[in-house]
Structures are given as structure tokens and as C-alpha cells.
Chain A
Amino acid sequence: MHGYEFYVDPSRCIGCQACVNACAECDTHRGVPMIHVDYVDRSSSIATVPTVCMHCDDPTCAQVCPADAIKKGADGVVHTSLKPRCVACSNCVLACPFGVPRMFVAAEQMMKCDMCYDRTSAGLRPMCATVCPSQALAYVAPETIARERREVPTNVFWFGNERVTTKVFYMVPPGTAEVRVDVVDFMWEEA
């Protein structure tokens, strides 16, 4: 799996929740999925969106953690909070621009997707990307994505003048280099 990367393409998602069910089967957090599948607005559309941790290069969750409980490995994977350190303050839940971390109040711990560290570190693909029947979640070589997909990957996101780069890629229409979501990111302002 060396050199494989994680790709998310919401336009392929069929909302089946195979990823959610598979994630909840993990031995390290059995019964609790670390992935989200959301309807955008079920009353008007069948469109759904899967969200995994994007594994930011400079993770906001770790920056705002007062207890230094969130660590990023040398391989770029941002791990779930360290249980002995986490103070369950929810700073990370509020700060994450992608809405990934979840606070489990009963356990007094934030938990999140760690890209199946138990699997990827043993040469296996992350479970959600392995089972995903529409390959909205894919863990493959960059050449494979370049060859097989009509959309193209990006890992640069703008959130109101804040540039976030991530280990995980998002599939976007050809010709799109970066994802911008805030009007501010399209404006010109005198420096």
C-alpha cells in the first residue's frame, strides 16, 4: 500500500452507510463509527456526503487542544485524542473546519477517524475505502485516480483567508485547483 492515498468524492456517494457499518466493526472502537454520512437535504434530494478525517498538515484540532492530546504521526495521520490527556473540552469539535471530531461525553474523550491506523500500518487499506460500493471513498495509488476518474484530486481548502492543506484528497471538477467555500476567498481586498 506504500504510496496509496485517500480520496473522497461525495458525488459518487449513494448513502448506503457501508462505511459507517464497517467503521463500527473496528476492534479499536467497536460499535462506534468514526465516519459521518449525511443527507444534504433529504426533503429535496437523495444527495449524501461521507466525511472522514481529512488529516490536515497543520491540524486545527491539535492547535486548539489545551491538553496537547491530539498528535500527528510522521506519516501525516492525525490520531484520535490520547485518553489520559483529553479533558473533553470539545475545542477540537468546534474548531475543525470539516466537522470531524466527536465528543463522547460518557467516555470523556474525543474520538475521530485515524485512517484505520491499525490496518494501514499493517499494509491493509482503510476499511471504509475498501468496502465503499461506489468508491466515493477510495484508497488507491495516485496514478490510478489520474487514469480512471473524470474528476481531479485537490487537497487545498480555503476557509475565509485560512488555507488548509490535508493528507486526504477531495475529488473536484477538472480545472479546479483549490476548494473555496467563503465569499471572502473569492474577493480582492487591499492588503
Chain B
Amino acid sequence: MKTHCCFCGQQCGIQLKVRNGQVVGFEPWEEFPFNRGMLCPKGVRRYLQSSHPDRLLQPLIREEGGFRAAGWDEALDTVVRRIRAVQERHGKDAVAVYGGASLTTEKAYLVGKLARLAVGTRHVDYNGRLCMVSAGTAYKLAFGVDRSPLPWSDIPEADVAFVAGANVAECAPITTQYLWQMRDRGGRLIVSDPRMTPITRNADLYLPVRPGTDVALHLGMLHVILRDGLEDRAFIAAHTSGFDAVAAAAQPWDPLATARLTGVPPEAIERAAHWIGESRRAVLMHARGIEHQSKGVDNVLSLINLALATGNIGRRGAGCTMITGQGNGQGGREHGQKCDQLPGQRSIEDPAAREHVARVWGVSPDEIPHTGYSAMEIMEAIHRGEIKALVSICFNPLVSLPDTKYIREALERLDTFCVVDFFLSETAHHADVVLAGSLQEEEEGVTANVEGRVIHIQRCVDPPGEARRDSEILCELGRRLGRPELFPFASPREIFDELREASRGGVADYYGISYERIDRELGVFWPCPSDDHPGTPRLFEGYRFFHPDGKARFVVPEYRESGDPVDEQFPVYLTTGRVISQYLSGTQTRRIGPLLDQVPQPLVEIHPRLAAELGIVEGDWVTIESRRDRMTLQAMVVATIRPDTVFIPYHWPGARSANRLTHRTLDPRSKIPEYKVSACRLRKESGPPDWVGREANVETPVQPPRRRQPRVEAS
């Protein structure tokens, strides 16, 4: 069946082979234009999750001594009764709802509607809060819309691509081919990253930026552009506002001052600035590297300023773009599971938006709650005792949120905790009721990929055992919470039809999109306000931006110290990220054998210079300690990371969870945690830690293959 991969924001087209109601394999889908049959190892092996023995087959209720299987009526009624009990004692807002950006857009839409109208709480947020919110906040400030402004087919058309804080090869593998095509055509690639990730092997210019100093690097580049008169004065005057303040902000950042802070050579800053400033087709791409910071929004704004100052936007082969991380990272944030948004990417505080959505829902605008807490703030409210109950779907905060100890304490403080999931995630271990939900391939729906292309997910198989489709679970909760008239949906198509109406006239307008059109056209780019509208692959054509005055805005970015600064006690930067073979908190990919074999354990990457100072050699056990906690991992000594920085991938739970070490400082505007900049210290250990042999799938820690494998296999 022609559908899409469930992992990552690229949403590659793939064909799943189905036999006897089971997914049994895959075949590339070469006609789908985004990836033309290309897949990463996660896509190749994704079919193995479908019939996995760990699948939850029925609801579970916690009792003394552990979980027991329960019927659906009992489980759903228990959840509803406990939610109402908490609300009667502590008020409506004592309950919070978590959604996720790997859900289809229909499910994400239901999460928002369920939380606001059936549960009646203002606190609904989602795990995209750890992903796209810095980019989204910055794009809304600068452009008035939160979407990649260009289709990926623009990338090969560029003369210069600047990839800032994006491990493209491992987190968005298909995008590699677009960058290589750009180079094949003579374009030049600039990469800024504290680590040499695989795409740096063909970078024409590599900028080894010190963690947390991206905004300074971008301001330094802008300084050179303005100093040397490379800005596009006509574009700035006609299509933007706020330039003068930004130009003044760039003034102090001459190449030497910038080099001192960022660790990037002055000549490299000058060269990068000239390549971008002299190009009429520059693409600036960024991801979590610059966004996962307490100044994530400033970092993105400073990059957008480079695009605006040089007039590189709104044309083929030019623009500033975000690389969306989660499966439905784009669609999942457009239709109402964000704490401050209603469907159609509308502000929940906009009276006209409330009016429109209330009319579609058949309720009074007053019934729609106002802005609630973001994902991390919900955890803080649980600690304060303000939030007492949590309903969570598609979110594994115990692995994915920072400061694991703090998150575990919050989950244990809850009066009641309901999780909807297909596998018993680490977070679900703490639940009172677990509702057995569905995988992506078990329910029809749409997602929006990294480009804003809305695509069609097929229902290939049914959920196993008594597990139910997520949308059925969400609707049934809504009905049992006393609002049957708001959840009459018998199929995802009916939900989509209401979603189209709810989004109509909004920024993310889906009104002209249908399942049939998507199948026919292999995706439709929003906004698409009517049936005969072709969709909008490239935003800002004709330099029309989404603010009321039609102009883009320069916004002054500010450099600030990290929320967890390095000092004499904790002298080394810690940064976290992904590996190619795992996805997010690993709930799915840690259950797929071949993907786990590829990178069985997290290793800590250390530069040989730092390793020598600490007496560490390849394979040594090393304790990494931050101001929160410590963990012990094996060292991978590589010259591909800054000597003042270490890296740990974050996909593992328990003793191997990198988020034991990270801190809870949030960006003040986007509320994204600062995963990419923490302070730590390291100590060599004489032997393995006690988690070896205790935690699942760990017997002998295995180093990944470094050299050619033997050609004669042992018997």
C-alpha cells in the first residue's frame, strides 16, 4: 500500500506489503516526488514494528502489585471518573493533556478539541514543544507564518546553502541528496556545528561554532555583509521593516569579536558572509542545533535576518528554512494541540479566531479556554501541586524532557495519570491507566511533511487484539466526558472535513485539500483555500509576507549566556542529539532489532585533546556529571567534535538517558528546553557501571564497527 514512513518530518513515500492483515515488508515508492524511493534505515525497517510482540493488546489498570488487563468500558470510565474527581476538588485546570507530533493531523486536532471542550482545561500542549517551537515563534515574528517557505526542490537550485545546527545526514537523511545535487550544480555548502556530522565531509566551508553562540556567529556574518555593502537595499526598503535596529545590533560583532566568542576563525566568518551576501540564490537551513537553546528564537531570528538583509527569500532557490524533526512536526502544530493555538494556526487569544472555531464546533466562544501552560511548564505546575492529573498520548517525557529526575518526580506526584500508547513506554510505566492505541499504519489520516506538503497516510492494517484506533479512543473519551455531540465522528475522513472548516480562512488553510486530491497530486501544499486552488509550494512569492502590511520584519536578536553556563566546576559543554538508526525517545526504534544493532548503546563523543587531558582512551568507561545528575558511558574518542564539547545521543532510557544531565532552562518566548547547551565534567572510571547487564538488551556493551568487518564470518 502506498503510504509514508512514520519516522521524521520528511515523511518519505513508502509501500508497505500487507498479507493476512499483517505488515510483512516494504517496497520503495519511486513515484513519490519527495524521496523517489530513497529511504534511511529507519524507513527500511519500520515495518518490523507492526506485529511486534511488545504491542499493547488491551487496556491496563494499575493496582497494588502492578498492571492488570481491563476491558475498555472499565478503563475509559476509570479515566473519566478520576478526571472529574480531580476537577471537582481542584478545578478544571487541574487536569492537563499532552499530545504529540507523530500523530496524524486528525488525531492532533482531536487532542486540542478534547482537552479544551470535553476535559475543559486550558492546559494542552504537545511534544513539538521540544522540537519546532523556536523556529515557529521566530517565523511568526518575522514572516507571520510558521512553515518552511520553500519546497525542497528549491535546494538544488541554490548557489549557496548554509546549514546551521542541523545533522542532516542522520536526522533528515533524504535532504542529503538535495544538498549533494546543489553541489553537483556548482553550489557551495557551508555547515556550522560543534561536531563534524556526516554532511560536513563535502562542506566547502565548515564553521565549528562553540555551543550556544550561534546568534553571535550570525550577527558577525551580518556585520561583514553590512560593512562590505553586500545587503540588498532595494529589497530591504520595499519589503521589510525594522532593519535599522538590526543593523545597529550587528555593529559590535566584528569578525574578531565574533571569533573570540564563537571559536570560528575570522576569515571563515568573512568568507561565509561573502558567499551568502554575493549570492542571489542562498538557502539558509536550520534545525534543533540552533533551536534547542534558551535563545533558540534569537538564533533563528538572526539567521532570518541574514536572508532578509541579502534579499534571499521568496524566489526559486532562495530562502530561510527550518528542517522539521518529528513525523508530523508540521501538521501536528497547526490544528490546535499547542497551548496557544486553535486550528488553522490561529492564535487562541484572537477574538475573531475564537469566534470562527466556536462556530465550527457549535459552542460559545466563551467556552474555549485561553492560553495554557506549555509542555515543560505543565511539569513545573505538577511539582507546584497546581496540576493533579495528566492524560498523555504520543509523548514519552521521561526520556525526552530535560532533567529526568525532575520529570520522574512529577509523574509520581500525579493523582491520576492516563497514557494512550501502542507500546508500554517508560512514561507509561508510571500511568494508572494505559489505553492500548494504534500505530500510524493502523489509521487513515493526513500529515504535513517538512515542506508543508500535506500527504495521505493509509490505513494498511487494523490494530491487534483489542487495541483501538487513537481517534476512536479520543472520541470515546470525549463522549464519556459528557460531550457526545462534539465527537460524532465515525471515521478520520469526517474529522478531516471538520478540520478543513475549522482551518478555513486561517494561516494554515486546508479547506481546499481532500484525501482524493492528495492521492491524485501526490501531496498538496497549504495554504490551499479552495478546491480549485493549486496549493502553495513556495511562500512569499512576489515578496508578499503574511503580516498585515505584507512586509517581513527584522527582529533584533540578543546574545545571552546559556542557562547552564560552563565554569571551573563544570568546564565542558555537553550537547545532545540523534543517531541515524533511532527516532526520538526510541519507543518504536529501540524495539526494532536491526536498528538497535546499528547503534546498541549511547557513547560519549570526546575529542582526543580532552581525552588526553583526562587520561581517557577509546572504549574507556567515563562518568559525565552535570549540575543535575551523572551517568557512565563508554568513550568514543574522535577528532570530529570540538575539544571543549562532548556529545551524547538521547534515545535511551534509565541510566543511559542523556536527559538525566540536561537542564530545564526554557527559551522565554518558545518555551523550548536548552538540550544543546549544558555544562558538565568528566571522570574516567576503572570499570563498567552497574547498569551493564541490568538494563534491557545490555549484556556486553558493543562499540560500533570502526573498520572493515572480517570477510570470513565465524561459524
A37-45, A76-84, A153-161, A175-183: which lies at the interface: A37-45
**C-alpha gap A45/B707 in the complex (Å):** 12
B712 to A90, Cβ gap below 8 A?
yes
B706 near A: Cβ within 8 Å? yes
Q: Which of B26, B40, B705, B711 has the most CB of A within 10 A?
A: B711
Chain A residues near B706 (CB-CB < 8 A): 39, 41-43
Within 8 Å of chain A (Cβ to Cβ): is B173? Answer: yes
B715 touches A (CB below 8 Å): yes
Interface-located stretch among B177-185, B491-499, B519-527: B177-185
B38 CB contacts on chain A under 8 angstroms: 18, 130-133, 135
B41-63 at interface with A (beta carbon < 8 Å): 41, 43-45
Nearest CB on A from B643, distance (A): 14
Q: Mark B618-644, 1 if CB is under 8 A from A, else 0.
A: 100000000000000000111110000
B709: Cβ under 8 A from any A Cβ: yes
Q: Please determine whether A102 and B712 come into contact, CB atoms closer than 8 angstroms.
A: yes
Contacts of B202 in A (CB 8 A): 11-12
- Say yes or no: A131 contacts B186, CB within 8 Å: no
**In chain B, residues 264-313, which have Cβ atoms closer than 8 Å to a Cβ of chain A?**
none
Among A11, A106, A133, residue most surrounded by chain B Cβ atoms (within 10 Å) = A133
Pair A21/B640 contact, Cβ less than 8 Å: no
Question: Taking the complex as formed, is B39 at the interface, i.e. its CB lies under 8 A from any CB of chain A?
Answer: yes
CB-CB under 8 A for A25 and B25, given A18-B44, A43-B639: yes
Task: Please determine whether A150 and B184 come into contact, CB atoms closer than 8 angstroms.
Answer: yes
Judge whether A38 and B183 touch: CB under 8 Å.
Answer: no
Check if A48 sits within 8 Å of B198, measured CB to CB.
yes
Shortest distance in angstroms between A52's beta carbon and chain B's nearest beta carbon?
14
Give residues of chain B (582-639) contacting chain A, Cβ–Cβ below 8 Å: 594-595, 598, 608, 618, 636-639
**Complex CA distance for A17 and B596, rounded to whole angstroms:** 13
Q: Does A164 belong to the interface (CB within 8 Å)?
A: no
Please state if A16 and B177 are interface contacts (CB–CB under 8 Å).
Answer: no
In the complex, whether A2 has a CB less than 8 A from a CB of chain B is: no
CA distance A130 to B173 in the complex (A): 14
Interface string of A17-47 (1 = CB under 8 A from B): 1101110110000000000101101111111
Chain B interface residue bracket vs A: 35 or more
Q: Mark A91-129, 1 if CB is under 8 A from B, else 0.
A: 001000001011111100000000000000000010100
Distance in Å: Cβ of A141 to nearest Cβ of chain B: 14
Does A134 belong to the interface (CB within 8 Å)?
A: yes
Knowing A22-B44, A43-B639 touch, does A101 contact B711 (C-beta < 8 A)?
yes
Inter-chain CA distance A130–B302, complex, in Å, is 38
Is there contact, CB below 8 Å, between A44 and B639? yes
CB neighbours (8 Å) of B595 from chain A are: 21
How far does the alpha carbon of A133 sit from the alpha carbon of B34 in the complex, in Å? 11
Determine the distance from Cα of A130 to Cα of B176 in the docked complex, in whole angstroms: 15
The answer to whether B40 touches A150 (Cβ under 8 A) is no
Please give the distance in Å from A42's CB to the nearest CB on chain B: 5
Cα distance, A125 to B185, chains bound together (Å):
25
Shortest distance between the CB of A96 and any CB in chain B (Å): 9
B580 sits at the interface (CB 8 A): yes
Taking CB atoms, residues of chain A closer than 8 Å to B43 are 18, 131
A129 to chain B, nearest CB (A): 9
B581 — nearest CB in chain A belongs to which residue? A17
Assess the B25–A17 pair: CB atoms within 8 A: no
Provide the bound-state CA to CA distance between A105 and B714, in Å.
6
A2–B240 CA distance with the chains assembled, in angstroms: 53
C-alpha spacing A108/B190, complex, angstroms: 49
The answer to whether residues A131 and B44 also contact, given A14-B173, A15-B198 and a CB cut-off of 8 A, is yes
Question: Which residue from chain A places its CB closest to the CB of B598 in the assembled complex?
Answer: A17
Which residues of B lie under 8 Å from residue A20 when comparing CB positions?
41
Give 9 CB contacts A-B under 8 Å: A14-B176, A15-B580, A21-B594, A38-B705, A44-B640, A93-B712, A127-B28, A135-B180, A148-B184
Q: Which residues of B contact A (CB under 8 A)?
A: 25-26, 28, 30, 35, 37-41, 43-45, 169-170, 173-174, 176-177, 180-181, 183-186, 196-202, 580-581, 594-595, 598, 608, 618, 636-640, 704-709, 711-715
A16-B41, A17-B598, A103-B712 given; 18 more Cβ-contact pairs under 8 Å: A14-B198, A15-B198, A18-B173, A22-B44, A38-B707, A41-B706, A43-B637, A46-B197, A99-B711, A105-B712, A105-B713, A105-B715, A125-B30, A125-B37, A131-B28, A132-B38, A133-B35, A134-B176
